Structure 1
Amino acid sequence: MLKALDSYAIKARYYPALLATIPSLAALAILISWGRFGLTTIIGSAAMPVLVFASADIARRLGKRTEEQIYAECGGKPSVMMLRYSDNTFDTTSKAQYRAFLGTKIQQPVPVDNAEQRDVKAGDSFYERAGAWLRENTRNTKKFSILFAENITYGFRRNLFGLKWPALALNLALMLLSGFFLYNKMPLATDDDTTLRLLVVFALAIIHSFYMAFGVSKKSVIDASQIYARQLILSCETFLAKEKKAAKAGKRSE
């Protein structure tokens, strides 16, 4: 379980943090003199892991905030919406089977179509509890490897999207600082080697800004959330198959 959590944290939290702060990390690595040990080397060495750790924490908090906003805009949590009678993600027979199974697990009556139409919130409370039960009982990452992979993809996209505007603001600051030193020929940029380094930082910040602006989108987060939700509900098939197998075994032993 600890390994699974570590894998999720690294891929869904630290990877987005690294990707969002690449220009800043590169600026530290390029502009600091590593040829001799000094104060700037100590500061740079300490700043890199701190920047990544802080970004990972911010990514998680902003990602959760983004998640709530997206759910509100889309009409609810995907795993809840897909179990509603009005949703067509699953066929009617399969969805009825999943609802009945989940109803026995959370010990709550399954909503009926007419009642759900009259009181959507009451029906959603059932689907919310059902989704919570599924998430709690599918933590075996080997048995539910596809679900775990989709959860990581969703977490990665959500957290990276949460860092979109902070990353763009950081890139803008890097471009302004680099451009200022280059344009005014400040002492920092008097030699050709340092000028080249500043140009690399400036170019990297521009390229990275294009990626964050156009490659990181709300739609990609919504798509990943829907794929994960569908796979979460499909995990009912694993439990149903296990129950059928146990029932057959019980009949043979009679």
Structure 2
Amino acid sequence: MDFLDAYSVRARLFPAVLAIAPAFALFLLGATWSDPGMPELITALAVAVLFFAAADLARRMGKRKERQLFADTGGRPENRELSRSDQTLDDATKDRYRAFLAKKLGVRAPSAQSEQDEPQKAQAFCNQCYTWLRENTRDTEKFKVLFNENISYGFRRNLLGLKPFGIALNLMTLAGAAALFHYHPDFSSMTEGKLVALAILAAIHACYFTFAVTKRAVLDASAIYARQLVMSCETLMS
């Protein structure tokens, strides 16, 4: 039942559903439902299994795409929201958060001068802070906004990982629909109108994956999650 938790459904299953939507549309439009038989039953079972398989593929391909993305941008991005040089948060807010986190970690927060003189040590302090925050914000009810931002990042990352499959599946679906229309087997009810409708849906689907599913969208979601993770200090301090 772990598969049915909110993160798995929204960050893994939903991207999988979007990726294989053309195949599902072909199944709905292409099969004859007046007297469903064994071919329709087998296809329905195959589509159901395909959803679960695609959800697992979404997770694995999303992780792979994440590694590629970080490699292309010089490695895993360093969270700098707590750094004095970063302008995401105002200085007074950052000072409160840094003091709170330093106390929790049992270390001294770097001063403005030491941060300038030893930037690597200052970044190491920030990394410690983020690690502590991630470990202490796992209550999804208490940190619901943070959890939703994490889901948003996972959704975009996994969808980007499935992008090549989603686009390729469009072409395969159209080819399959054309074959059904041309040969018209007994189990198919593909008509010219349904073929045109499927082509329109496939075009919209391809445009979405081409223009909306991008590296920039994943990086934006990552930045929003990082900011919200720091802002969770307000809840932890209250």
TM range (shorter): 0.7 to 0.9
TM-score (norm 1): 0.78
Larger radius of gyration: 1
| Residue pair 2:102, 2:108 contacting (<8 A) in 1 also | yes
Distance 2:65 2:120 in 1: 22
Other-structure match for 2:128:
129
Question: TM-score of the superposition, structure 2-length normalised?
Answer: 0.83
Report what 1:237 is aligned to: 234
Larger fraction in helix: 1
| Structure 1 Cα separation of the partners of residues 109 and 12 of structure 2 | 36
RMSD: 2.9
Structure 1 residues 95-244: aligned runs within 5 Å: 95-113=94-112, 116=115, 120-179=119-178, 182=181, 185-188=182-185, 193-240=190-237, 242=238
Match of 1:29 in 2: 28
Q: Which moved more, 1:61-70 or 1:45-54?
A: 61-70
**CA distance in 1: counterparts of 2:194 and 2:136, whole angstroms:** 51
Distance 1:68 1:128 in 2: 19
Identity of aligned residues (%): 43
Supply the AA of the counterpart residue of 1:211. Answer: Y
Deviations 1:45-99 (A, max 9, x none): 2112211111111111222233334444455656722223332212233223322
**C-alpha spacing 1:163/1:117, structure 2 compared with 1 (3 Å):** farther
Determine if contact 2:31/2:189 at 8 Å carries over to the other structure: no
Unaligned runs of 5+ in 2: none
1:26 and 1:154, CA in 2 relative to 1: closer, same or farther beyond 3 A? same
Superposed CA offset, 1:165-204 (max 9, x none): 210011122223334555xx33449x98544333333332
1:80, 1:127 within 8 Å by CA — same for their partners in 2?
Answer: yes
Distance 2:136 2:93 in 1: 20
What residue identity is the alignment partner of 1:140? D
**Is the CA contact (8 Å cut-off) linking 2:146 and 2:228 kept in structure 1?**
yes
What amino acid maps onto 1:91 in structure 2?
D
Partner of 1:252: none
Paired residues in the alignment total 236
Q: Measure the CA separation in 2 of the matches of 1:6 and 1:93.
A: 38
> In 2 relative to 1, CA 72–113 (structure 1 residues): closer, same or farther, beyond 3 Å?
farther
Mark the runs of 5 or more structure 1 residues left unpaired by the alignment: 243-254
